[in-house]
Structure 1
């Protein structure tokens, strides 16, 4: 008898790999009562599902959490279906139209300019923090540059960065981690304030366009995009820049320090980043709905059933990555992980994420070559359904 997932337990995020290994071997399509979903665990199946939106539909897959109470759902109202028109939450042809619009912001020239800006943000932060000799990597080093870069990219004023960061944290708690009923209502209020802020930012850029992503997308309202699509797109990129990307950097630094490969040589930075995403991905997977009845590995998935594509398990699939639980800094196929998805649903923010992860390591290594973990600390992750992020990480140098 194979045990089930348990998002309330520490092992679900910190150490699920023995459990996932047993699933890949004995139950590659696993019906999880805890998640209320069928789970695909093998790399080939996860990749194939990403590539087949006709069978595994994205429509509605990121909408309201199934753990919310009726009172919370009522408070959220129409916003309970937040992300219903986000690019990762729809199928073609809407997906094709949305992705085409978003891609306008990620030209090679624009990405190069963002990378240089991000390097400067990291240098400026280190000028302030390095003299201390110690820090909580999560709160003091990992988040600020990404938050500031994402804010500048979107067009969020510097004075509003703390507001956005606070409300993003509330968003993740509301939708992606179990919360008691009273706390859900508090978080729902915060979430509505967050959406109202983004809505007002879009209105402001419509009246006074600037050189930022919000202005670029707002100019497409009516021709290619709806107002709601722009609000949800901006809201979600802010989520990634304020939480997912910094979480990946924290996971990456912890892995590199544990493996004794700090600082990373320049020639290995790119591959080391990919290997860290494979081993300790900030995203554990994506949900889909079965668009029709499907049979896979002898298991019938009913039409309409919720399906989790476990990229966490796929990244540790021994048939693709030999000795998968071992960190190999020069692993030749490290980039075959599926943390960013695959096919038409390859993450629109992947370029933005990669241009932050590698440059951050390139700056941090030479500036803090003696970086090390503070001994004796308990390494703890936040509890989440599909995310991996450290609560704190004490470091010194």
Structure 2
């Protein structure tokens, strides 16, 4: 290890925390090769699992590979400066500076590599055209470009999508968004763009650097000329003209040198990532034909599929940062001035954040958490332009060429530290099978485009009912499986799914009650409620073996903490047995100390009673009202009060849960000892006449927003490009939860416990507000 130690930047006179950050694998690490560009996550799996932060002597960078560490670095732009994002890899030969000087090259900081506080000052002034409201005006143009491009090859039967669609459309959209004239020399600009990318993110030879320097210099001069031309018509369209107009109001913020530098940088940034992201996404979807078939049949899946593609195989391999002070990351000491390579593609495959991360699942519930767009103050401003283009491209191809397949080919990748995607993507199909030959309207139909995080209600999974079995009076057990026979995602005790019941928007939540290990099928038990609003009644009357149901989830906001050291107490009433029985089974499997209480009116109504008794024996107590055995919550709570560290998990009728809460409180048990699951919310809804406006500060994004009295926090965040998912928007599902740093919240959901509300660490953006109109600070 002595040779390696001599290459390590950490002094070995005293062993650093975590040991030497340089190993044999670290010494051999080289991202400039096909194996890394094709699958960065797999290339650094060893590091993510064994040595999540290591030093690479070949790069002179510290490499960070896990999700939370990368996200924490993004959220702290003061400690971790973005100033080296566009810094050439290695030291350019001396003549490069002289060559660039001949062209008057004076590239300054841009939004991507500028430090605070100037970065946020400029971002606030220039961000308005990137908001969903303003981006909608570009949608017809994007549709036209995609349609015209596909028209040119629709009858050919074989095409390179990169050359004929995926480069051309994003590049044209970028020029349109910037306001650059349609008659621009595109081939020249493409050459300029490639040179800029290689210069900033590649590792060219000294000879190549000299040639690239001339091209970059020409690009600089070209950008200046375009900018000057725009200054002659400042009231015209495009983001650059908008920036010119903003310069008049904020001359100290939007300077001449800044505009020139942004003109050059944005031409590249506005299309490279989208071109590669689209190629990666289409390749990934066609490699998973069941998902492609589902997406073609259900366009609602396009938006969530795009997010999963960006997570699983995004167009950004890594970002770079520079440490401004001595700091420790995952137990490894990093010296001030150190350069960091954040492998975001690896973070997107971290099992610590994404369940079964290598599984490609277009219905994944948290794919929008991916780091491909970055996070915090430097999150990509153009993310929703990219989303728009990707959704329209995939939508048009899925409708007009649903039968296309990947051709036999070898994929080549551009070697650089930032953008990743194949140079070519060849697909083929039988033109005689084109749907529009039978139905010309196929060509003109448009799917909805989602500008922002996908709506959870659109993440639909079609499942076939394998069996329907009566497990108690008016209670049936449905066993659901994939029509394709493919494995279903893993779930954890307490999770539920939403089943769409009949026509319209009626959906009901049902807890999963089967075996979480069984990925062949999911099981839910449904009680026919005499006061049913249509959900359970429809299932009992209409659902039979072979019925295909539209299902969302699974999701879990009633999660059991398996690390707890004390006794677990499980309390269920009626159909509330379904989430609790999976927790009790899990406790038994783990050998935990637990007791189990199950209340019901009589044995005819008691679902799973015999099998639960056989499984849990003396640990299970049945409380049957008609047999004179009711659960005495006061006695139970009083007994538990004498034990340390008791955790109670309960689900059942509202009256039962309220009585249990009173008993727990009166017995003096800690307020965080009780965890309950609700399926209804009777808390106040938004009433503009009674609400107050309030301010919300987004700590990581550097924004302060006003939430009006007639608008929810959720809608306010979405309007400013902040990604927050949602589903029920009634405070029931927990999808729109956001972290709270400071301020007092008026909680209006049915998810958080009283203890969690008092902790004030999170809130549901769809329904909750500030208490008394005070300012809230969110960790967004």
TM-score normalised by the shorter chain: which range applies? over 0.9
CA deviations 1:354-390 (Å, max 9, x no partner) are: 1111111111211111111112x11222212222121
With over 3 angstroms needed to count, the CA separation of the structure-2 counterparts of 1:180 and 1:277, relative to structure 1, is same
Q: Matched residues in 1 for 2:334 and 2:44: separation?
A: 19
Q: 1:357 aligns with which of 390, 400, 403?
A: 390
Q: Matched residues in 2 for 1:117 and 1:61: separation?
A: 32
Q: Matched residues in 2 for 1:12 and 1:178: separation?
A: 14
With over 3 angstroms needed to count, the CA separation of the structure-2 counterparts of 1:223 and 1:275, relative to structure 1, is same
CA contact (8 A) 1:39 1:307 kept: yes
Task: Describe the SS at the equivalent of 2:320.
Answer: strand
Q: 1:383 aligns with which of 402, 408, 415?
A: 415
- Asked if 1:18 is matched to 2:51, the reply is no
CA contact (8 A) 1:206 1:218 kept: yes
Unpaired stretches in structure 1, ≥5 consecutive residues: none
Residue 77 of structure 1 and its aligned partner are, at CA, apart by 4.1
CA contact (8 A) 1:62 1:83 kept: no
- Which residue of the partner structure matches residue 313 of structure 2? 280
Residue 81 of structure 1 and its aligned partner are, at CA, apart by 8.9
Aligned positions of 1:117-196 closer than 5 A: 117-160=141-184, 161-196=186-221
Q: Matched residues in 2 for 1:262 and 1:82: separation?
A: 47
RMSD between aligned residues? 1.9
Question: Which is greater in Rg?
Answer: 2
- Which residue of the partner structure matches residue 546 of structure 2? none
Aligned residues: 396
Q: Matched residues in 2 for 1:300 and 1:341: separation?
A: 23
CA contact (8 A) 1:165 1:242 kept: no
Q: 1:249 aligns with which of 260, 269, 278?
A: 278
CA contact (8 A) 2:89 2:202 kept: no
Q: 2:424 aligns with which of 389, 392, 396?
A: 392
Residue 111 of structure 1 and its aligned partner are, at CA, apart by 0.6
Which structure's relative contact order is higher, taking Cα pairs within 8 Å and 6+ residues apart? 1
Residue 337 of structure 1 and its aligned partner are, at CA, apart by 0.6
- Asked if 1:226 is matched to 2:252, the reply is no
- Asked if 1:75 is matched to 2:99, the reply is yes
- Which residue of the partner structure matches residue 754 of structure 2? none
- Which residue of the partner structure matches residue 25 of structure 2? 2
Q: Matched residues in 2 for 1:178 and 1:226: separation?
A: 31
Aligned positions of 1:90-129 closer than 5 A: 90-129=114-153
- Asked if 1:213 is matched to 2:234, the reply is no
Aligned positions of 1:220-369 closer than 5 A: 220-221=246-247, 222=251, 224-260=253-289, 261-262=291-292, 264=295, 265-369=298-402
CA contact (8 A) 1:251 1:276 kept: yes
Residue 56 of structure 1 and its aligned partner are, at CA, apart by 0.6
CA contact (8 A) 2:81 2:324 kept: yes
Q: 1:203 aligns with which of 222, 228, 251?
A: 228
Q: Matched residues in 2 for 1:323 and 1:49: separation?
A: 24
Segments ≥4 residues shifted beyond 3 Å: 77-84
- Considering fraction of residues, name the structure with more strand: 2
Q: Which moved more, 1:58-67 or 1:314-323?
A: 58-67
- Considering fraction of residues, name the structure with more helix: 1
Q: Matched residues in 1 for 2:79 and 2:146: separation?
A: 43
Residue 223 of structure 1 and its aligned partner are, at CA, apart by 5.0
CA contact (8 A) 1:64 1:82 kept: no
Q: Which moved more, 1:2-11 or 1:279-288?
A: 2-11
TM-score for both structures, normalised by structure 1: 0.94
Q: Matched residues in 2 for 1:5 and 1:283: separation?
A: 18
CA contact (8 A) 1:83 1:89 kept: no
Q: Matched residues in 1 for 2:180 and 2:384: separation?
A: 20
- Which residue of the partner structure matches residue 497 of structure 2? none
With over 3 angstroms needed to count, the CA separation of the structure-2 counterparts of 1:54 and 1:174, relative to structure 1, is closer
CA contact (8 A) 2:89 2:203 kept: no
With over 3 angstroms needed to count, the CA separation of the structure-2 counterparts of 1:268 and 1:170, relative to structure 1, is same
Unpaired stretches in structure 2, ≥5 consecutive residues: 1-23, 430-780
